Structure 1
């Protein structure tokens, strides 16, 4: 029976290349661990077949083998992991093609409408940010809900990234790509408060903008916990939203939806969100019932 150690021996070079490539490309630690797990399973399914010889059939067969226990979201994540794996091999001249690119993602997941808060709901959520570190936590909510930052981008934010005089923020996004975005005046004001009242870091070399009470960079998990506590309190007073799955990323969804509802050009929205492709931004162009009714009022049906 093939074990994990066998896989590491048989596919030592491709696995090493993938690890280096992901780290170099700026993948988060959590993503690297998840993708490595998926790739180990995929390589196990190849039954010692060299990765260069594997094709579309091998990728599809592997995805089908997991179909009964995985939904569309999981399937697409697995496919993304395999695509990235082959992309790393191409980059290091260890493969000549990426067979995973020949496999389509699940349409069900692709067409799923993102969960988001309406503008008045987002404004109400902010009133539930309380406690000793209110200014810091409120700044975090403003960055995600009114500037569209990912939780990882908030986590990676350094003092030097905030350009107070210019009113802008340099954001280190996916793939280690930089994106400078203009900030609303209120966000600049709160970031200024955080900067001035920043907790003294444990290490003098720590450049983190958001620091925990222990003097370390605020972790992704800590940011998510702060958001979860606020959402829980908000939902207790708004039982009609109990089933709405809110998270840090839903604040980003809310920001994107808000812009598009305000008729901001989708190309501008793409740049503000730091998307590589406009197709990714397109998922936010969902139409609600109110917009449908408003559109139909413009139709004049003649009397017959």
Structure 2
């Protein structure tokens, strides 16, 4: 485990990813029940994944598999193992075929009306960064003052795999970011450059960001019963952003760059059609057919 931690730090994995992968791998090692880790087989990996599948979803299963694959890659790199038994285990296709949950453009705008409280401008900025810029919750958490290029109107975003991505900020969001910067609480540490600072004068945590979005969704759903069953979260705001761009005719290759996806296949899951688009297509058929 020490070798795994060292390898992930050297490879540039974020602290959040390191913690998640450590937790998954520790559970996997317990499941081996004393079997030497370098002697584990494909069956051991599948057995562990199947055991988890009854209580977790397909996304969690695939994340667990990624953690185990990365673990063995680290051991091989340090010459502590010769093969990776997780490489031959296929990822679940169910997750890939699952239609993303997202808010329609007007619903996304309406949700902003339910953000209130002492730090209203800050919370609106956080919500909009995910819904109108497509940032992941971890990317919002990692934002520093220097990442906001006010004159240029862009954000430097540190995404997955320690990759930097420059995102143009929509004009409607710029004044909120400027307000947050102006009213930013001074952190305890003079070295802390966090853009979003909590009441405790520390970098706003991922959990706090999720809570801000969660409270907004809860209030929003109360006034929009037709969306009460929709499972909304920070990541669903990112889904909404990608869907909104594609529905407005933005090239999928541009959406890929804005989302920070490594592969265009990942972006393609957002090229779904909604019910209104289906109705419009059928209405066209009705106009063209004559008996």
Question: Do Structure 1 and Structure 2 share a fold, with TM-score over 0.5?
Answer: yes
Aligned to 2:191: 205
Relative to structure 1, is the Cα distance of residues 205 and 37 closer, same or farther in structure 2, using a 3 angstrom cutoff?
closer
| 1:20 and 2:6 are equivalent in the alignment | yes
Instruction: Give the Å deviation of 1:128.
Output: 1.3
| 1:273 and 2:259 are equivalent in the alignment | yes
Asked if the contact 1:26/1:174 (under 8 Å) is kept, the reply is no
Asked if the contact 1:156/1:172 (under 8 Å) is kept, the reply is yes
Q: What are the Cα deviations for residues 113-167 of structure 1, in whole angstroms up to 9, with x where unaligned?
A: 1111100000001111122211111111111110000111111100000001111
Aligned to 2:159: 173
- The farther-off stretch of 32-41 and 275-284 is 32-41
| 1:94 and 2:74 are equivalent in the alignment | no
Cα distance in 1 for residues equivalent to 2:284 and 2:224: 34
Instruction: Give the Å deviation of 1:30.
Output: 4.4
Cα distance in 2 for residues equivalent to 1:157 and 1:274: 15
Cα distance in 2 for residues equivalent to 1:162 and 1:153: 13
Cα distance in 2 for residues equivalent to 1:261 and 1:232: 26
Cα distance in 1 for residues equivalent to 2:29 and 2:159: 30
Relative to structure 1, is the Cα distance of residues 165 and 102 closer, same or farther in structure 2, using a 3 angstrom cutoff?
same
Cα distance in 1 for residues equivalent to 2:12 and 2:228: 35
| 1:82 and 2:82 are equivalent in the alignment | no
Aligned to 1:230: 216
Aligned to 2:246: 260
Aligned to 2:23: 37
Q: What root-mean-square deviation, in Å, do the aligned CA atoms of Structure 1 and Structure 2 show?
A: 2.2
Cα distance in 2 for residues equivalent to 1:93 and 1:281: 36
Pairing 1:117-156 to 2, within 5 Å after superposition: 117-156=103-142
Relative to structure 1, is the Cα distance of residues 303 and 75 closer, same or farther in structure 2, using a 3 angstrom cutoff?
same
Aligned to 1:192: 178
Helix, strand or coil at the partner of 2:166:
strand
Cα distance in 2 for residues equivalent to 1:162 and 1:69: 41
Aligned to 1:55: 41
Helix, strand or coil at the partner of 1:61:
helix
| 1:243 and 2:232 are equivalent in the alignment | no
Aligned residues, how many? 290
